[in-house]
Each structure stands twice: as structure tokens, then as C-alpha cells.
Structure 1
Amino acid sequence: MVGTLLVGLVALEHLYILVLEMFLWTTPRAMKSFGMTKEEAVATKTLAANQGLYNGFLAAGLVWGMVHPNDQTGESIEIFFLICILVAALYGGATAKRSIWFVQGMPALIALVIVLAL
């Protein structure tokens, strides 16, 4: 139950990132979150939408694992997508903003540890 809750929270986080990157990229909220000027946001809008779509795929994978009728298969799916998020967070934190390690990587790591422990 705790593992499912944590996986669900990570999925919600990535759905939020999808919305932020695909639909709200040029808003003050997104520009502040990503430390961009209006000009930078406009210039990178298409790239951000692509990134947002990938975050949506990560969320979809986590939800798929949560609702899979076979618990063992569902857990394997969750583990795979949590690892994908961790790898993306490690890369993003190393190449873009270190806060990605904490904002995206840490929730995925905690959820992964709990899923593996149960």
C-alpha cells in the first residue's frame, strides 16, 4: 500500500511536469521554475513540449504498473519506470540543474526502495 502510494505520487509529479512543459512553458510559473526569460521560453517551447511528452510516458508507465492485474508484473513495470526516472534525474542533475536530483530523483529513489523492500 505504501509503495503504491509513493509510486502514485511520482506519477502525479511527472503528470505535473508534462503540463508545465507542454502547456505552461511560457507562463511566469514555468519561467520561474526553470530560471528562464520570456525569450528563452519562447525559443525552447517546442523542445520543452517534447520533454513534457516523455514525462507523460514515464507517468503512464507508472500508472500501468499500478493497475496491472498481475501484481508481480505490475511491480516489475513500476521498478523499470522508477529506474528510468532515476537515470533521467541523474543525467539532468549533472547536466542542467542539480535540483533535479532532489525534485525528481529523490521521490523516485524513495519509491523504488519501498517497492523493492515490500
Structure 2
Amino acid sequence: MQLLADILIAAIAALHLYFLYFEMFAWDTIGRKTFKQIPPEVFPKTKILAANQGLYNGFLAAGLVWSLLIEDHHWSFYVAIFFLTCVLIAGIYGALTATKKVFLVQGLPALIALILLHVR
């Protein structure tokens, strides 16, 4: 189960690096395609806000990658729990405030990874 959890953690980290990229550098292109419910004229006005959000997604990715690189099993476990919980909370909040799809893309994988970390 640990290998499966590590693979899922790496995938979640990669997903958050992708979020960092499109929110910081491609908000007017990928952002528009991703968030079709937002009127197009809003994107230029929210570019700075999206970039800030992208930076936070980068911090989540960095924490998840860090958890995979820590050699001490206990530290690795607790760091992974912390950052996956942050991702899960962000996914729940996104589902409540934006669209349910946010939970499916962001929260559910984090929840599954948390469960896998606890199944031994």
C-alpha cells in the first residue's frame, strides 16, 4: 500500500504543479478553458489573484514532494498527512464555493491517499 500511496502522492503533486503553471502563467488561456462558467472579461482582471493562488498550489506540491524525499518513515508519514489534509480541505472548500468538480479532481485523490497511508 505504501508504494500505491507514494504514486498517488506524486500524481497529486504533479497535478498541483500543473495548477501552479496555469494559474500563474496561463490564466488567460487554460484558465478560461477550465473555468468556463466565469465570463471571459473577468480573467484579465483576476490574473494577479490567480497567480497568488497558483503560488499556494506550488507550496502544496513542494510539501508533497518533500514528503516523498524524507528518509525517516515517521517524518515522511506526518509531512504527507499534513499536506494531503491541506489539499483535501482545499478540495472541500472548492466544492462548496466553486464547483463539485473541484472535489473530484483535488479532494478525492487526497482522501484516497490519506486512506492508503493509514492502511498497512
TM-score range, shorter chain: over 0.9
Distance in structure 2 (CA, Å) of the matches to 1:50 and 1:30:
14
1:23 to 25, 33, 48: 25
Percent identity of equivalent pairs? 46
Post-superposition Cα deviations, 1:47-90, rounded to whole Å, max 9, x if no partner, equal 00000000000000001110012121011100110001111111
Distance in structure 1 (CA, Å) of the matches to 2:10 and 2:97:
27
2:77 corresponding residue in structure 1 = 75
Once the two structures are TM-superposed, the CA of residue 117 in structure 1 deviates from its matched residue by: 1.1
Distance in structure 1 (CA, Å) of the matches to 2:35 and 2:119:
34
1:33 corresponding residue in structure 2 = 34
Once the two structures are TM-superposed, the CA of residue 91 in structure 1 deviates from its matched residue by: 0.9
Equivalent position SS for 2:27: coil
Aligned length: 117
Over aligned residue pairs, what C-alpha RMSD do you find?
1.0
Q: TM-score, normalised by structure 1?
A: 0.94
1:59 to 38, 58, 61: 61
Q: TM-score, normalised by structure 2?
A: 0.93
Once the two structures are TM-superposed, the CA of residue 4 in structure 1 deviates from its matched residue by: 0.6
Equivalent position SS for 1:57: helix
Equivalent position SS for 1:26: helix
Letter in 2 for 1:65: S
Distance in structure 2 (CA, Å) of the matches to 1:116 and 1:12:
22
2:91 to 76, 89, 92: 89
- 1:43 equivalent to 2:45? Answer yes
